[in-house]
Structure 1
């Protein structure tokens, strides 16, 4: 014999088949989205890192600050005035954490 709670739940679910189906479908879809994001996010981050490395690989020289601090714009002006420098540009890079 089934307990009364299970009997009531089964009767309710069986009586509302469309609602039960749509709710189950929504739960399955939500779980699928979470798992697919956990699979896609590392792949996308790796592709982004590879893209940045290939773009940075097209330069002859990269100058960074030893402690990771930013340079003033005067440093960029000094570098542009060095003989043999065809082009110089500054970028601002900061690490960010993307929750998985």
Structure 2
């Protein structure tokens, strides 16, 4: 056999092996017994409703000042994300800190 024939045979054998593994898994675990389906059944169908203001949106990690002042939960999240930043160097942390100080959630350290 030539090298091309051997390569074609190996590709066919690998394809058949993958197909057998997929079919075996599909026949062994019927759709109703998949772990994902079982865990979805245990989820609460009526999760507690959250107010729109309490939602914390994840934004790309950036040090630029936000377009508008963050809400208090967003400011807390920003402070946690930028824990290693200095307020003097990071406009996003500085704005979050200002919001928390104005809301009385944080007291600036006396110098």
Both proteins in one fold, TM over 0.5: no
TM-score of the pair, normalised by structure 1: 0.32
TM-score of the pair, normalised by structure 2: 0.30
Q: Which has the higher helix share?
A: 1
